[in-house]
Amino acid sequence: MHQSFLRFADALYMKVAILLALASIVAYWAYDPLEPHNGGTWLGYTLGTVGAALIVWLTLYGLRKRSYRSRLGTVQGWLSAHVYLGVSLLIIATLHTGFQFGFNIHTLAYALMIAVIASGVWGVVMYVKYPKMVTNNRDNLTRKSIFREISELDRKASLLVEALGSPVDRMMITSIQLFRVGGGVWAQLSGRDSSQMMVPVMSGKKQVWKKVSNTGQRRMLNILAGQVARSRDPRITAVLQELSDVVSTKASLMQKLLKDVRMQGLMEFWLYIHIPLTFALLATLMAHIVSVFYYW
Amino acid sequence: MTFLIRKIVSVEGAPNRHQDFEVASSRLTVGRGTDQDLLLPGDRVSLRHAEISLLGQLVEITATTSLGIVVNGRTCKSAMLSVGDQVLIGDYHLVIIERPDNEVDCAISVQQLQVQEYEGLNPDSYVTSLKNIFWLRKRAYAWILFVLLSLVCLILPVWLAQNPDIKEHSPVALPDDSLWLSGPLHRQHGFIGDNCAACHVKPFEPVQNNVCTECHEDTTHHVAADHPANILFQKETCASCHREHNEQERMVMDDQRFCVSCHGVLATALGSKAKVSNVSDFTSKHPDFRLNMLNPVLNDGDWHWQNSGRQKRTPELKEHNNLRFDHQQHLDTEGLKNETGAYEVLQCSSCHTRAADGFGMVPLTMETSCSRCHSLAFDVDNPAREVPHGPPVEVLNSLREYFSAQFIAEKMAKNESRRRPGQAEVSRLQQEGLEWVEQHTQEVAEDMFERRACITCHEVEHSPTAQTDAQRWKIRPNRLNDRWMLSSRFPHYKHRSESCGSCHAAQESTQTEDILMPRIEHCQDCHGGKDTEDKVLSMCITCHEYHQPDMSVMASDPQ
């Protein structure tokens, strides 16, 4: 039975993290230093040491994840600990600051840490929410088979329009050619359908072909519906109706595909923030520790 | 129910063959999943694609996938089928055929169509994964940021801190150690600016005392070098208490726990040698004030003044200042005669003035506080003429001068000197003058010293047989105590809203020796310790200073 990393070993690491955070809060509350709370009291040093050790250890998760031969705990256990202890860092590091912030590298390190944790929490939300949605959306299909299915529909449509002749023929072919999915970061993450097609328009007395948006194949479907309404020949009407069927099926498959790309992208995108910021944090943390003792 | 499945296998160049098999089930499930009744492999078929069931003579097919099914060329979700109807599932062609016998409820032929190659969509030509976006590179960004931030936050500041010349001559602002500033400097230290090396002399070494004492050269120790408790302070530096770069700008540690950690048990720790008591809070754990007395001591015939040090407050403790003064009498509510002869009600401020620093009082003198009413005149005919307020010799000389002038003036008035006197006449006049002047001088002096003026306030000793002026009358030296409390300076200016009498019981005092200093209970009426809720919060340093004025200065410490 599949078990979420959040519930790993009866949420053992959640309990550890809560204990750690509670212990920090109690210590902060009970300890009343002669100077204002800051990173330089003995509690400040303690929380700082624990926090820095945690950050280094949390970073090592990236290594552990890749070393498939390691027997040092399961990756799922590591992930569970990574998530919970990472969140507990929010409290430990905040108490370490003594709520003293400024325009300096110390606060920069803190801000980077918050950003890393926030992106990590975002990642957790993605991992908890999306796999199920992805499965539901794909509906037993693979991405490749959705492509094949669309391809099959395109073949069918291109065979059907041959019987009709232009201009529907040409519009259909352009709608097939100008089909769009994915692309840049924004195109993938927004899941917007930027498919296009070409339609004939009158420019003066001349007919020219112009590219127009065909989001969700709606333009194509509208054109086909118009053709059906004007059609006098029942044979042609039947072909047009079949064509409409094919295009609307394709539209729903495209929707699935776009959603799939979008969710897949969202499940990965947070890592493009989480990992670079983690390294930025490591560099700043190093500077924070060295500078504090450089000017002791 | 029994379904007959006829699988048609087409082999090129030969007639179609078929295989039959039967499935007994209420519904025939169709899909590529291994649990399906009719298994149709191929990725265009869903795991569970459709279900076929019987409704009387009719066959019903229902799509269980959103892809739908194609029945007789039309895509639909479900359809009623009869013999001859064709269904397309992926690349499979299903036809409802005649039942061969009555034991079979429904017969279906299944044929896999030749897959026609169609140059349709190539999934690889679409970028559908972030991994395929060229410029989006997790690790590259990670290392770029790591190197960049290491440079800006650490390497460059360290390099510039060690090469201040480069920083000075750089035309552009470089990331330097000001990025490390963890909190503001105290306002008073603001002039140091961002010159970290002013205090942080050596990297990775805590700030040493000598950088503080360079400016704070008068700062003194808390205990004497030979004090047994001195060992406790040896490991501490200025910075142990005076913490810079804290958000809450505060250089002086006002938390009394710092003091109490020693003084709470100090007397116990020092045992019989202790000159102090245990103190832990002002509300109830503070001893009564001990007073420093100024005592006159006769040494080799001369009077000296000696500070007694802190003395316990007992009824026997009296002030000895060799003066005579009655506070009660001076504060008579009906008033006293002043210089104009009118009755004037005196206030404390008629005689006492607060010192300019606001802490103590201006020392009292005859001229500033007494002489307005207490005249030193001696001649009723000449009330403006006074003897000086000084040593008896000066008083006597002043009187002699005055009476000499009087004698001459009197003789001139009688024309006795108009004719030229002979030698004998001169000697007689001189003798007469000397006697006359000396007689008047002694009479007036005796009156003033012993009956009327000096004796009012001073202790006067008279030796009638003494040969010299200096020995005839002696005024006992007097001095007023201006340092009652050695461990604290009382800020009178902070207590302006109080009347003098609320602390100093002058109204009840008739003797000069009365001590008018308030007891601690009196202060505790308004001042409370650390946990006070309704009184003025008073920690140790509210009244006491850490750096003791009479200790050696820190700047003289061996480094």
What is the model's pLDDT at position B116? Answer: 57
DSSP per-residue codes, B63-119:
E-STT-EEETTEEESEEEE-TT-EEEETTEEEEEE--SSTT-SEEEEEEEPPPPP--
Q: Where are the alpha helices (DSSP H) in A31-184?
A: 42-66, 75-97, 105-138, 143-162, 168-177
Low-confidence ranges of chain A (pLDDT < 70): 1-2, 165-166
What is chain B's pLDDT, residue by residue, as a tens digit (559 residues)? 888 888 887 776 777 788 888 888 888 999 888 888 888 887 778 888 899 998 877 889 998 887 778 888 788 888 888 888 889 888 888 999 888 888 888 889 988 876 655 566 777 778 888 888 878 888 899 999 999 999 999 999 999 988 888 888 888 888 888 899 888 888 888 888 878 888 998 999 989 888 999 899 899 988 888 887 788 888 888 888 888 888 767 788 888 888 898 899 988 888 887 888 899 999 989 999 999 999 988 888 788 899 998 899 998 999 988 899 999 999 999 989 888 889 999 999 999 999 999 999 999 999 999 988 898 999 888 888 999 999 999 999 999 999 999 998 888 887 655 566 678 878 888 899 999 999 999 999 999 998 888 999 999 988 888 888 778 888 888 888 988 998 888 999 999 999 999 999 999 999 999 999 999 999 999 999 998 999 999 999 899 988 888 888 888 877 5
CB of B70 within 8 A of CB of A160? Answer: no
Do the Cβ atoms of B182 and A104 come within 8 Å? yes
**CATH class for domain B2-115?**
mainly beta
The CB density around residue B300, as the number of other CB atoms within 10 Å, is 5
Choose among B66, B121, B150: nearest Cβ to A287. B150
Q: How far is B236 from chain A (nearest CA, A)?
A: 15
Q: How far is A293 from chain B (nearest CA, A)?
A: 5
From chain A, the residues in CB contact with B207 under 8 A are 296
What is the model's pLDDT at position B418? Answer: 58
From chain B, the residues in CB contact with A139 under 8 A are 46, 65-67
From chain A, the residues in CB contact with B127 under 8 A are 182-184, 188
Task: Quote the CA–CA distance of A214 and B382 in Å, as a whole number.
Answer: 125
What is the model's pLDDT at position B421? Answer: 67
Q: How far is A10 from chain B (nearest CA, A)?
A: 33
CB of B116 within 8 A of CB of B12? Answer: no
Chain A residue closest in CA terms to B197? A295
Do the Cβ atoms of B149 and A106 come within 8 Å? no
Of the candidates A125, A143, A148, the residue with the CA atom closest to the CA atom of residue A261:
A143
From chain A, the residues in CB contact with B154 under 8 A are 283, 286-287, 290-291
Task: Quote the CA–CA distance of A260 and A188 in Å, as a whole number.
Answer: 9
From chain A, the residues in CB contact with B130 under 8 A are 185, 188, 265, 268-269, 272
Exposure b/e, A196-211, CB count within 10 A at least 16 = b: bbbbeeeeeeeeeeee
Choose among A147, A275, A284: nearest Cβ to B121. A147
Strands B50-55 and B28-31: antiparallel
Q: How far is A249 from chain B (nearest CA, A)?
A: 8
Mutation pick from A31, A32, A35 vs chain B, by most beta carbons of B within 10 Å, is A35
Task: Quote the CA–CA distance of B499 and B493 in Å, as a whole number.
Answer: 12
What is the model's pLDDT at position B115? Answer: 62
- The residues spanned by each domain of chain B are 2-115, 365-475
Of the candidates B41, B49, B61, B53, the residue with the CA atom closest to the CA atom of residue B3:
B53
What is the model's pLDDT at position B234? Answer: 80
Long-range CB contacts (within 8 A, 24+) of B65-72: B65/A139, B65/A140, B65/A141, B65/B31, B66/A139, B66/A252, B66/A256, B67/A139, B67/A141, B67/A149, B67/A249, B67/A253, B68/A249
**CB-based burial label for A1 (10 Å; 0-12, 13-18, 19+):** exposed
